[in-house]
Structure 1
Amino acid sequence: MEQTTNYCNAHQHDETHIGRPLAHYHPNLWGDHFLNYTPPDEITQRQREEEVMALKEEVRRKIQGVSENPKERLILIDVVEQLGVAYHFEDEIEANLQHFNMRYSQDDARYEDDLHFVSLRFRLLRQHGFYVSSDVFNKFKTEDGNFKESLIEDAVGILNLYEASYLRVHGENILDEAVVFTTSKLRALVDQLSDPLATQVSQALKLPLHKGVTRLLSRYYISTYEAEPMHDETLLKFAKLDFNLLQTLHLIELRDLSKWWRNLNFGTKLPFARDRIAEVYFWMLGTFYEPKYALGRQIFTKLYKMTSVMDDTYDAYGFFEELQVYTDAVQRWDKNTMNQLPDYMKLTYEALLDTFVRFEQDLANQGRSKLVPYVRELMKAQCRGYFQEAKWCQEKYVPTYDEYLNDAAITTAGYTLMSGTTFLGMGEFATTEAFEWVTQTPKPVKASCIIGRLIGDMASYKIERKRDHVASVVECYMKQFGVTEEIALKELHNIVEDAWKDLNKEMLRPTTFPRPLMTRILNLSRVIEVFYRLGEDDYSIVSQNMQQKVQLVLIDPIVL
Structure 2
Amino acid sequence: MVFPILGNLPFSFAKNILPPLGKKYSSLATCNFNTFSSKTQCKGSYIPSSSTRRSANFQPSIWTYDYIQSLSSEYKEVMYRKQCSILKEKVRMMLNKTENELTQLELIDVLQRLGVSYHFNNEIRDILDNIYNKQTFKLKKNLHATAHVIVCFEDEICNFKNGHFVDVEGMLSLYEASFHLFEDEPILDEARDVTSKFLKEFLDKNGDKNISLQISHALELPLHWGIPRWEARWFIDIYERQQNKNHVLLEFAQLDFNILQSLYQEDLKYTSRWWKRTTLGDNLSFARDRLVENFVWTVGTNFKPEFDYFRKVLTKVNSLITIIDDVYDVYGTLEELELFTKAIDRWDLNAMDSLPNYMKMCFHALYDLVNELAFETLKKCGYHITPYLKKAVSIIIIIIMITIIYYYYYYYYYYYYYIIVGRSM
2:79 to 47, 71, 77: 47
Deviation of 1:290 after TM superposition, in Å, equals 1.1
Partner AA of 1:139 in structure 2: V
Paired residue secondary structure (1:196):
helix
2:174 is matched by which residue type in structure 1?
Answer: L
| Residue number in structure 2 paired with 1:451 | none
Paired residues of 1:162 and 1:183 also in contact (CA < 8 A): yes
In the alignment, what sits opposite 1:136?
A: 146
3-state secondary structure, aligned to 1:304? helix
- 2:213 is matched with 199
Q: Provide the secondary structure at the position in 1 that maps to 2:74.
A: coil
Q: Specify whether residues 368 and 37 from structure 1 end up closer, same or farther in structure 2 by C-alpha distance, changes over 3 A only.
A: farther
TM norm structure 2: 0.80
**Cα gap change, 1:134 to 1:206, in 2 (>3 Å):** farther
Offset at 1:218?
0.5
Q: Which residue of 2 aligns with 1:227?
A: 241
Q: CA contact under 8 A between 1:39 and 1:252: conserved in structure 2?
A: no
Matches of 1:189 and 1:388, distance apart in 2: 52
Decide whether aligned partners of structure 1 residues 283 and 136 sit closer, same or farther in structure 2, where only a CA change above 3 A counts.
same
2-side partners of 1:164 and 1:230: how far apart?
A: 24
1:376 corresponding residue in structure 2: 390
Once the two structures are TM-superposed, the CA of residue 368 in structure 1 deviates from its matched residue by 4.3
Q: What is aligned with 1:11?
A: 50
Identity of counterpart residues, as a percentage? 31
Match of 2:278 among 264, 270, 293: 264
What's the counterpart of residue 61 of structure 1?
A: 93
Distance 1:151 1:321 in 2: 71
2:305 matches 1:274: no
Q: Distance in 1 between matches of 2:292 and 2:338?
A: 31
Question: Does residue 182 in structure 1 map to residue 195 in structure 2?
Answer: yes
Match of 2:168? Answer: 155
Q: Which of 108, 120, 123 does residue 77 from structure 1 map onto?
A: 108
CA distance in 2 between partners of 1:38 and 1:8 (Å): 52
User: Any residues of structure 2 matched to 1:435-450 within 5 Å, and which?
Assistant: none
Alignment of 1:97-112 (within 5 A): 97-105=128-136
Give the AA of the match of 1:295.
Y
Q: Is the 8 A contact 2:288 2:323 kept in 1?
A: yes
1:463-507 Cα deviation digits (max 9, x unpaired): xxxxxxxxxxxxxxxxxxxxxxxxxxxxxxxxxxxxxxxxxxxxx
Q: Whose RCO is larger (CA < 8 A, sep 6+)? A: 2
Which residue does the alignment assign to 1:21? Answer: 54
TM-score, normalization by structure 1: 0.62
1:390-442 residue CA offsets vs partner (Å, 9 max, x unmatched): 111112132686x555x502333xxxxxxxxxxxxxxxxxxxxxxxxxxxxxx
Corresponding residue for residue 337 of structure 2: 323
SS in 2 for 1:289: coil
Q: Which has the higher helix share?
A: 2
Kindly report which structure 2 residues correspond to 1:330-341, keeping only aligned pairs within 5 A, or say none: 330-341=344-355
Q: Structure 1 residues 217 and 267, CA, compared in 2 at 3 Å: closer, same or farther?
A: same
Is the Cα contact below 8 Å between 1:134 and 1:172 reproduced in 2? Answer: no
Partners of 2:174 and 2:195 within 8 A in 1: yes
How many angstroms apart in 2 are the aligned matches of 1:27 and 1:256? 20
Residue 531 of structure 1 corresponds to: none
CA–CA separation in structure 2 for the residues paired with 1:39 and 1:166: 37
Structure 2 runs not aligned, ≥5 long: 1-39, 161-165
Cα displacement string for residues 41-100 of structure 1 (whole angstroms, at most 9, x for unaligned residues): 9xx71110110011111111111111x221100000111111111111111111111112
Q: Secondary structure at the match of 2:188?
A: helix
Query: Does the Cα contact within 8 Å between 1:191 and 1:198 map onto a contact in 2?
Result: no
Corresponding letter in the other structure for 1:341: L
For residue 230 of structure 1, give the secondary structure of its aligned residue in structure 2: coil
* CA separation of 1:139 and 1:246: change in aligned 2, threshold 3 A: closer
Deviation, 1:105, is 4.0
Aligned with 1:275: secondary structure? coil
1:160 deviation in Å?
1.1
In 1: Cα distance, 2:106 partner to 2:403 partner: 49
Counterpart in 2 of 1:169?
A: 182
Q: Deviations over 1:105-146 (max 9, x none)?
A: 4579xxx9xxxxxxxxxxxxxxxxxxxx9972553249xx98
1:398 aligned partner, one-letter code: Y
Letter paired with 2:361: L
Amino acid across the alignment from 1:176: D
| Partner amino acid, structure 2, of 1:313 | V
What is the distance in 1 between the residues matched to 2:154 and 2:212?
25
* Alpha-carbon contact 1:34-1:254 (below 8 Å) kept: yes
Structure 1's 8 and 173: CA in aligned 2 closer, same or farther, altered over 3 A? farther
